[in-house]
Amino acid sequence: MGIVLGPNQYGKAENRLVRIYRDGPRHEIRDLNVSTSLRGDFADAHLAGDQSAVLPTDTQRNTVFAFAKEHGVGPIEDYGLTLARHFVADVEPVHGARVEIEEYAWDRIDDHDHAFVRRGQEIRTVAVTLDGDDGGRAYVVSGLKDLTVLKSTGSEFRGFLHDRYTTLAETTDRILATSLEVRWLHIGEPEAWDVSYASVRGLLLDRFAQVHSKALQQTLWEMGKAVLEAHAGIAEIRLTAPNKHHFAVDLAPFELDNPNEVFFAADRPYGVISASVVREGAQEAGLAWSAGA
C-alpha cells in the first residue's frame, strides 16, 4: 500500500485589521481578526518543493488589507464572502477557500464622534467556506463566542442516572453559568446580516433568562429551537456551553448557614455540553462547519 498526500490547506491566520470610516466628523470603526485558508492544486509544493502554484500567505495578508479599502468592510459575512470568492475565482490553482473572522465591538464614549471604548467580552464570528468543486456554493456560518451568562436561580439538576461512581447530590436550585459559543448555518442570505445577528443574539439571551432550566442540555435546545423558529433562513445551529461550576461553600464549620448565597467559582474541571438543532430537509453542509484536516 502506498503512502500519499491527503487533504491539505494553507493560509494566513489572525490578520488584525482595523477599518475606520471617516467621511464625515462622525467616525465608524470595524475591528477584525481575519484568517484565510486555501485548498487546491498544491501537491507539488509538498512532494517536490515546487511553489509555482502557491500564492504566498503574505499575499493573502496583503489582500485582506487591500480589500478593506477596495471593497470596504461592512458586515463580516459580506467581507468574508468577497475575500473567499476572490481567491477561488481569481487565483487559478485555488479550488476552495475558507475565511474565518472575529469581530470586536466598540461603543462610543458619551456619544463622542471618534472616541470609543470596547464593548463586552463577546466576539462575533463568521466562517465562510467556498468549495469550487462543490458547484461554487458558499456556506456562511455566523456565530458568537465568549458570551458569558449566569442565572442565580431557576436552574435544577436531579433525577439523573446513578452508577457506582456517582456521588453528586440532587439539587432544585443552583447557579447556572456558562460562556456560550454558538454558530449557525445560513440557507441563503438574510436581508441584513447585522440585523440577523442582533436578532439571534437577542433570542439566545432571552431563552437563557426565561427558561427554567432542568439541565443545560434543555436550555441549549430551547435556545436553538427559538432561533430556528424565528429565522427560516437558518438551517442549523450548534451550541457549545461549558458548565462553569459554582459550588455553594460549606460554612457549617463556622456555624453559618449558606442558603445559596456564597459560592466558589471553580476553574477546572468543567462540564461541556454540545448540541445542534437542525431544520429537517436542509441540504448538506459540506465543509461549512469544520476547517478540515
CA dist 7 and 9 (Å) reads 7
Give the residue numbers marked as catalytic.
12, 57, 245
Query: Rounded to 5 degrees, what are φ and ψ at 48?
Result: -125, 0
Question: DSSP secondary-structure letter at 194?
Answer: H
Options 135, 167, 188, 191; binder of a copy of itself; rule CB under 8 A: 167
Tell me how far, at minimum, the Cβ of 137 lies from a copy of itself, in Å: 19
Q: Is 105 in the site for a copy of itself (CB under 8 A)?
A: no
Q: Is 152 in the site for a copy of itself (CB under 8 A)?
A: yes
Q: Which of residues 204-263 bind a copy of itself (CB under 8 A)?
A: 205-206, 208-210, 213-215, 217-218, 220-221, 225, 228-229, 236, 238, 242-243, 246, 249, 251, 253-254, 256-263
Q: Is 199 in the site for a copy of itself (CB under 8 A)?
A: no
Options 6, 24, 135, 188; binder of a copy of itself; rule CB under 8 A: 6
Instruction: Give exposure, 240-271, as e/b (b: 16+ Cβ within 10 Å).
Output: bbbbbbbebeeeeeeeeeeeeeebeeeeeeee
Tell me how far, at minimum, the Cβ of 280 lies from a copy of itself, in Å: 5
Q: Is 283 in the site for a copy of itself (CB under 8 A)?
A: no
Q: Is 51 in the site for a copy of itself (CB under 8 A)?
A: yes
64, 33 in Cβ contact below 8 A?
Answer: no
Bridge partners for 106 per DSSP: 118
What are the CA-CA distances from residue 213 to residues 135, 161, 181, 194 (Å)? 43, 18, 18, 29
What are the CA-CA distances from residue 117 to residues 18, 113, 197, 202 (Å)? 14, 12, 21, 22
Tell me how far, at minimum, the Cβ of 175 lies from a copy of itself, in Å: 7
Q: Is 57 in the site for a copy of itself (CB under 8 A)?
A: yes
Q: Dihedral, CA atoms, 116, 122, 123, 124, nearest 10 degrees?
A: -100
Number of residues that bind a copy of itself (CB under 8 A): 142
Options 132, 154, 233, 286; binder of a copy of itself; rule CB under 8 A: 154
Q: Is 70 in the site for a copy of itself (CB under 8 A)?
A: yes
Tell me how far, at minimum, the Cβ of 55 lies from a copy of itself, in Å: 5
226, 283 in Cβ contact below 8 A?
Answer: no
Q: Is 137 in the site for a copy of itself (CB under 8 A)?
A: no
User: Contacts from 223-228 at CB under 8 Å and sequence distance 24+?
Assistant: 223/182, 224/275, 224/276, 224/277, 225/277, 227/184, 227/200, 227/203, 227/277, 228/277, 228/278, 228/279
Tell me how far, at minimum, the Cβ of 138 lies from a copy of itself, in Å: 21
Q: Which residue has the cell 461550576?
A: 245
Options 117, 192, 195, 198; binder of a copy of itself; rule CB under 8 A: 117
Q: Is 284 in the site for a copy of itself (CB under 8 A)?
A: no
Options 127, 147, 203, 288; binder of a copy of itself; rule CB under 8 A: 147
